Amino acid sequence: MWKTLKQDIDVVFDQDPAARSYFEVILTYAGLHAIWSHRVAHWFWKKKFFFLARAVSQISRFFTGIEIHPGATIGERCFIDHGMGVVIGETCEIGNNVTLFQGVTLGGTGKEKGKRHPTLEDNTLVATGAKILGSITIGENSKVGAGSVVLQDVPVNSTVVGIPGRVVIQNGVKVPHHLDHHKMPDPVADKFKQMEQEMKNLQEEIRTLRKRSEKDGD
């Protein structure tokens, strides 16, 4: 236990250059407090003291702004940096040396039972505001860009960005995504073309009616 607690503190110094002393880190780092509270809540959860586990979890949420379900599994050296708004679901599995920034959601996609939250393998990083939803796996050594929404598995050694998230770098090589911008649909232009065609049709009908009217007049 003491080894785990020391690792939780040491990872703060490794990841955050603003950390100055053990005293400061232990007393003022909400991410560290949330991790420690979760370790207590998770112990109660495994012992089937579900109410106590949820109580510890909610008290921690009140003081830290970080919500971690007591059923979630978190490995060693997990670092939550500026963690306000982080949400980690019940069946989430987080490996070792994982970094999460503020506003990250590791959530589900519905009311399904069983494994319904993401798995983050070792050495992954999830940037500010990213949402990883469903029973998917973020591969080892991968990164999820800020604001991304990831709904599918991510291979190892990858960088994912966008909504929905897509792999842009894998194994250090940029992944090509062919996109012909000149072929992109333009609904406004299409609507104008449709209106122009309708006006031509109306003009043709008017000319036809005038011709008929002139013949009838003769």
Query: Collapsing DSSP states into helix, strand and coil, what is residue 163?
Result: coil
What positions carry a catalytic annotation?
82
Burial class (CB in 10 A: 0-12, 13-18, 19+), 57: buried
CA distances from 91 to 29, 106, 113, 205 (A): 25, 10, 10, 66
Other beta carbons within 10 angstroms of residue 24's beta carbon come to 12
**Do 149 and 133 form a contact (C-beta atoms < 8 A)?**
yes
Instruction: Give alpha helix (H) positions in the chain.
Output: 2-15, 22-28, 30-46, 50-64, 187-217
3-state SS, one letter per residue, for 44-84? HHHCCCHHHHHHHHHHHHHHHCCEECCCCEECCCCEEECCC
CA distances from 192 to 97, 183, 188 (A): 55, 17, 6
The token pair that represents 103 in the structure block: 């506003």
